[in-house]
A = this chain, B = another copy of it.
């Protein structure tokens, strides 16, 4: 936290990242009092998402962001450019963060940086089985997993639940409810297949095939 009580939140952008992983939490966390948000990549400028059409613009570089209070890592292609810089930066800033967080495949970046070693975690269901390779204990039944100052969320839309929980931790339940109401986060999905345990075998099979098609590198 800065001397004036402001927290800086760094949302990381990287090659072929998943937009909602970052934008979901951003839209809730930005509504907290005394919060400075920034979008951070190896350098400022547009960063293309995994769909190949949408770009978000990084406002700051890693070098310009040496001491974020909160870091949020979305799914980013682990084979993309500047991954080495990202992992090195994550290792460095994690020493002084208040919270280090990930959404979806962002947990794999934390894992590759060595940050999840010895910690339970979650990630997108398609990546859960890789976590033990990095010393992390997968928690497939939990949507948001906290271990010390590390918080990981399940796939894509789970970042909203992570963020709302974090607002509650930082500013109490009343303020979390204010943020929830401002964003009208009163979810009413018309279908109920959002978790592996709830989807039919056929839907699981089709979803796994689609994931392989869209993300052939895993």
Contact = CB atoms under 8 A, between A and B. Distances in A.
Contacts of A202: 174
A156 B186 contact: no
A53 B196 CA distance: 36
Nearest to A199: B181
Contacts of A168: 190-191
Nearest to A165: B190
A184 B156 contact: yes
Report the interface size class on chain A: 35 or more
B160 A157 contact: yes
A214 B174 CA distance: 19
Nearest to A18: B27
Contacts of A199: 177, 180-181
Contacts of A188: 143-144, 161
A174 B207 CA distance: 10
Contact of A184 (B37, B53, B154, B165): B154
A130 interface: no
A177 B194 CA distance: 7
Interface of A: 18-20, 23-24, 26-27, 30-31, 37-39, 46, 51, 53-57, 59, 104, 124-125, 143-144, 154-158, 160-161, 164-165, 168, 173-178, 180-191, 193-196, 198-200, 202-204, 206-207, 210-211, 214
Complex A-B, nearest 9 residue pairs according to Cβ-Cβ distance, in ascending order: A186-B194, A155-B184, A177-B193, A187-B187, A20-B27, A55-B57, A186-B195, A23-B23, A156-B183
